[in-house]
Amino acid sequence: MATDPTPRGRRPGDSGTRDAILDAARARFAGEGFRAATVRAIAGDAGVDPALVMHYFGTKQALFVAAMEFPLDPAQVVPRLLGPGVDGLGERLVRFLLTVIDDLGDANPMLGLVRSAVGHPDAARMMREFLGEAILDRLAAAVSEHTGADRPRLRADLCASQVVGVLVARQILALPELAAADRETLVAAYGPTIQRYLTGSLAP
């Protein structure tokens, strides 16, 4: 009747352990950021020894990079949002973002990146480069081609600042009326802001 200490070797069958670790890592990084999320906690969530995490990913850093891989390809998303033209682009972008936030829930890589970037320079650089090359430059180029607006990259940066602000104020700080507002209310509030940043006049 001895409670057997979990046996040492391999498990029978196809255990999706690697994916379990990745899921747990995504959730922990998104919920606590790089520093506060411990390898031990992630391993615990995945029902696994910490050493197994290192066996699969080598270091905590590498696990972070693997877990934060973005589930959507910006090279497809940006053109799709711009498909119907530049009219209503702001609202489409905001609605898309809010939908993605709701769908991803706990394991949102955007949250993981923001939470980690703050207080971890490497993650900040990682996020700045990903945001910049994959999204903002693309968005800037596309919009400037459609409208010939001036300072396209500044416009994209302005959008990013509002998007990051929504993420932090709503998902992390949980400002009450912002967290409670339903999606279309926020689309109506933020849509015109983004639209103006992208295509409106920035002079006083």
Q: Which residues lie near a second copy (CB under 8 A)?
A: 32-33, 35-36, 91, 114-115, 117-120, 124, 127-128, 131-132, 136, 151, 153-154, 157-158, 160-166, 168-170, 172-178, 181, 184-185, 187-193, 196-197, 202-204
Partner whose footprint covers residue 71, from DNA, a second copy, none (CB < 5 to 8 Å by kind):
none
- On whether the CB atoms of residues 195 and 91 are closer than 8 A, the answer is yes
| Residue with Cβ nearer a second copy (17 or 162) | 162
Spatial neighbors of 43 by CB under 8 A, at least 6 apart, are 21, 24, 49, 50, 52, 53
Dihedral sign of CA atoms 16, 41, 30, 35 in order:
negative
Binding site for DNA (CB under 7 A): 5-13, 15, 17-18, 37-41, 47-52, 54-56, 58-61
For tokens 């933020």, what's the residue? Answer: 190
Partner whose footprint covers residue 120, from a second copy, DNA, none (CB < 5 to 8 Å by kind):
a second copy
The token duo for 181 is 């507002």
Spatial neighbors of 52 by CB under 8 A, at least 6 apart, are 17, 21, 43
| Residue with Cβ nearer DNA (36 or 188) | 36
Strand (E) or helix (H) holding 27: helix 17-36
Minimum CB separation from a second copy for residue 175, in Å?
4
Minimum CB separation from a second copy for residue 197, in Å?
7
Minimum CB separation from a second copy for residue 39, in Å?
16
